[in-house]
Structure 1
């Protein structure tokens, strides 16, 4: 009759599984599995762990683990009886006469199924160990899922804040780069528009190569007759009374026609010029 270890080893080899693969699958050290297959169950672990390992290994190999555990219990029981018998043979030379009461008590003790009660209780404790191990694995998986969810949430929050910051930054850059000349202020025209007649009381402003922002004010009475932008190829003729002061932004693009003569400022950039 095959021993428990031989049955386990034969089932493992029939499935083509190595001891290392079995150890990784059952979470049992390979040296313990080797001891179990060699029927060397005297390795230094509590009995409850030995029973748990044996049951898990038999279940992994798809054997009848109840039958394996029953055979193991019977094997352990026979070993304990052999140990008692060897002890009695060792001290067999010491003949002690027992009384009838002691013999009756020994007979009653031998009939009590105390050892069987212990055998049935121990597998239940092995089940508890297995349940605790499964519960620990479930807890680890649960915590890993929670950690992944938290990391994903934080990453999403950072991405959203980054997009918002990028949008706000681009808006602020566009606002900062927008020239002041982009806003065309309201053009103040005389109440009665006058025809563009070239005489000493009128001036014509031209923008060549780019728009120019101008502010035209009469020096005698301080009346502003125009403030705004002059666009390219859109000359502006103004009627004045006396000398005017013209404030402009980009002198290199400004040309002025007054008294039949066209000229430009002597300097580029922003400046002020007076026309008599």
Structure 2
């Protein structure tokens, strides 16, 4: 009857798969796979990992992994029984030699035979306890790793949502100036601060030679009339109630029409102007 390792090795070779290829797919080190195929399951890993490796390898090779695990459990149980039997035979072969005088003196005390079977029970229990402790420790470590990964993922999600919220909040801030948001321009100098005197309650903004980003604010109450880009050949007409302040990015491309008057800002680049 083939051993577990022989069945795994035969299935792998029948599929034409090398140990390195199997290790890359199963994420199990190739030396561990070699030990498994040689039936050397005594490598230094907890039992829970050995069982996991064996099950994953059998599943990868399209074998009946339930049958493989059943045979492995039977093999481990057989080894455990052989170990206990060997210990019992070793202790059973011990003989206490006494002289004839000691036998006569201790005859009454030696009527009850000494039981050596209890001596082997303690090491066996200790070995089983160590195995259970190793398995419990491996389970605790595994669940602890899962918990850390979950907490880290949750924290990352909160950080990402916080950043998105901060970006959206800064984008809707009414105190932000239009030139800095659109063209990253800096206002080098204000335009002529003397308001342009006009009689009309409406005005038109033109872009000549290039688009201009503007923010138009009503000075009486600070309300924003318009904020956005003015494209070439797409003039924008706005109504106003009293003086308005216009902040712009490219003064050399901006033309303002109020009533019958048509003028440009005195400053080029990013600046601002007030019209009445």
**TM-score bucket of the superposed structures, by smaller chain:** 0.3 to 0.5
Tell me the TM-score normalized by structure 1: 0.44
Return the structure number with greater relative CO, CA threshold 8 A, min gap 6: 2
Give 1 or 2 for the bigger CA radius of gyration.
1
